[in-house]
């Protein structure tokens, strides 16, 4: 139930410190938690429908901040009220678009209990597209159990001998795919992205760590910028070719991406015949198809040629456009290796 400031004591009524503090605590912002099936249009509509309430709350908070609170004798108590009111106001300001979203993403688990991952998506600012959970990540994540049984059975099957498989996710974004892999495959996954994206990625990893570890997986994050920009986590990635599996979702969106992605794979995929890269690309338009074609060509003629060993198609939901509802999109995914 939403909080109405009309029910709160007003400044002119000179309410006591304890009463004002209680009201300010009730106004703490808790971002809503949405299911993945909720269209972004509905989330935006809910946000705009609550605009009047937000304006009323902002006016109430401002009245406390502006007031000298002369009826409260303790100066320390005044400072507390001004400070808390300022924090409540700042929670409602400075966000782009509709603000922060938190969503629950459910998973069935072939070898254990079902679980869900809770993912925070901050406001999209500038070109930080990694702050959104793209539909292709969830589509591929839901197929990870089957991938372990078939495409990666030589690495993740019961017959696999040797140490546990190390997995790297490139361009992890909000972390959904990599965290799902850690939980479902019961293995170690390092999730990486650009410096601007990693703080939110790390927040999501820490929030879901208890769930992942209870299922037998482990996760960590690191900064990894393709193309040798000097922004990498040098200690974590000083050693090349550490990972038997690389995961990539929705990472081809610019003309230089095929070449940069191929270089990153060559730098970090283990020099083993059994090592594999799994890539998913939503085929939204002709540009996406062209970039996928270029990546396959670049990967095949690289210093360590990688070919597409198998390819598949899945249908996912894209909720990023201006349309009325989330739209279906074909998601191509393939397995690359020697």
pLDDT tens figures, 233-291: 767 888 899 999 999 998 888 889 999 999 999 999 999 999 999 999 988 888 989 99
Plot region of 105 (φ>0 → left; ψ -120 to 50 → alpha; else → beta):
beta
What pLDDT score was predicted for residue 247?
Answer: 98
* Rounded Cα–Cα distance for residues 248 and 269 (Å): 12
DSSP letter assigned to residue 48 = H
Cα radius of gyration (the chain) = 24
Label residue 53 by pLDDT band (50, 70, 90): confident
What pLDDT score was predicted for residue 94?
Answer: 40
Q: What is the mean pLDDT of the chain?
A: 84
Residue that wins the pLDDT comparison between 124 and 150: 150
* Rounded Cα–Cα distance for residues 280 and 292 (Å): 10
Dihedral sign of CA atoms 323, 254, 291, 263 in order? negative
Indicate if the pLDDT at residue 321 is higher than 60: no
Plot region of 116 (φ>0 → left; ψ -120 to 50 → alpha; else → beta):
beta
Residue that wins the pLDDT comparison between 324 and 260: 260
Phi, then psi, of 57 in degrees rounded to 5: -65, -45
Residue that wins the pLDDT comparison between 140 and 238: 140
What pLDDT score was predicted for residue 130?
Answer: 54
CB 243 within 8 A of CB 268: yes
What tokens were used for 73? 């004798």
Beta bridge mates, 121: 101
What pLDDT score was predicted for residue 324?
Answer: 39
Element (H, E) at 294: helix 286-300
| Domain locations in the chain as residue ranges | 5-90, 101-337
What pLDDT score was predicted for residue 311?
Answer: 95
Mean pLDDT of 295-319: 88
What pLDDT score was predicted for residue 6?
Answer: 79
What tokens were used for 162? 């040797």
Cβ atoms within 10 Å, residue 49: 9
* Nearest C-alpha neighbor of 270 from the set 338, 221, 334: 338
What pLDDT score was predicted for residue 198?
Answer: 93
Indicate if the pLDDT at residue 139 is higher than 80: yes
- In CATH terms, 101-337 corresponds, of 3.20.20.80, 3.40.50.150, 1.10.1060.10, 3.40.50.2300, to 3.40.50.150
165-220 pLDDT, tens digit each: 999 999 999 999 999 999 999 999 999 999 989 999 999 999 999 999 999 999 99
Dump the DSSP string for 181-216.
Answer: HHHHHTSEEEEEE-TTTHHHHHHHHHHHHHHHHHTT
Indicate if the pLDDT at residue 126 is higher than 60: no
* Rounded Cα–Cα distance for residues 133 and 38 (Å): 13
Indicate if the pLDDT at residue 131 is higher than 80: no
* Rounded Cα–Cα distance for residues 52 and 87 (Å): 20
Q: Kindly give the pairing relationship between strand 327-337 and strand 276-282.
A: antiparallel
Indicate if the pLDDT at residue 74 is higher than 90: yes
* Nearest C-alpha neighbor of 199 from the set 271, 273, 128, 114: 128
101-125 pLDDT, tens digit each: 788 888 988 888 899 999 988 765 5
76-102 pLDDT, tens digit each: 999 999 999 987 886 665 434 445 678
CB 89 within 8 A of CB 58: yes
16-47 pLDDT, tens digit each: 999 999 999 888 765 555 555 566 566 556 65
**Three-class secondary structure assignment of 103-126:** EEEEECCCCCCCEEEEEEECCCCC
DSSP letter assigned to residue 267 = H
What tokens were used for 200? 């939110």
């Amino acid at each position: 139930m939403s909080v109405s400031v009309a029910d709160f004591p007003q400044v002119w009524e000179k309410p006591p410190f304890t009463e004002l503090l209680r009201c300010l605590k009730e106004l703490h912002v808790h971002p809503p938690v949405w299911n993945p099936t909720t269209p972004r249009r509905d989330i935006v509509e809910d946000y705009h429908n609550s605009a009047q309430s937000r304006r009323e709350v902002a006016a109430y908070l401002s009245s406390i901040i502006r007031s000298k609170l002369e009826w409260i004798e303790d100066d320390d108590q005044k400072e507390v009220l001004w400070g808390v009111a300022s924090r409540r106001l700042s929670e409602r300001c400075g966000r782009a678009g509709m603000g922060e979203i938190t969503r629950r993403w459910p998973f069935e688990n072939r070898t254990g209990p079902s679980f869900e991952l809770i993912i925070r998506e901050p406001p999209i600012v500038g070109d930080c597209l990694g702050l959104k959970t793209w539909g292709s990540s969830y589509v591929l994540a839901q197929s990870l159990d089957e991938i372990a049984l078939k495409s990666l059975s030589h690495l993740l099957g019961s017959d696999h001998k040797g140490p546990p498989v190390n997995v790297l996710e490139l361009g992890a974004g909000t972390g959904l795919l990599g965290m799902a892999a850690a939980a479902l495959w019961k293995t170690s996954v390092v999730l990486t992205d650009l410096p601007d994206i990693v703080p939110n990625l790390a927040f999501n990893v820490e929030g879901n760590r208890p769930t992942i570890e209870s299922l037998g997986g482990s996760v960590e994050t690191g900064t990894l910028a393709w193309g040798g920009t000097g922004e990498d986590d040098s200690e974590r990635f000083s050693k090349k070719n550490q990972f038997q599996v690389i995961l990539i979702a929705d990472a081809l969106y610019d003309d230089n991406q095929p070449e940069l992605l191929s270089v990153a794979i060559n730098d970090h995929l283990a020099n083993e015949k059994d090592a594999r890269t799994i890539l998913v690309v939503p085929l939204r338009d002709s540009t996406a198809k062209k970039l996928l074609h270029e990546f396959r060509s670049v990967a095949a003629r690289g210093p360590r040629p990688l070919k597409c060993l198998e390819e598949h198609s899945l249908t996912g939901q894209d909720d990023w456009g201006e349309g009325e509802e989330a739209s279906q999109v074909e998601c191509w995914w393939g397995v690359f290796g020697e």
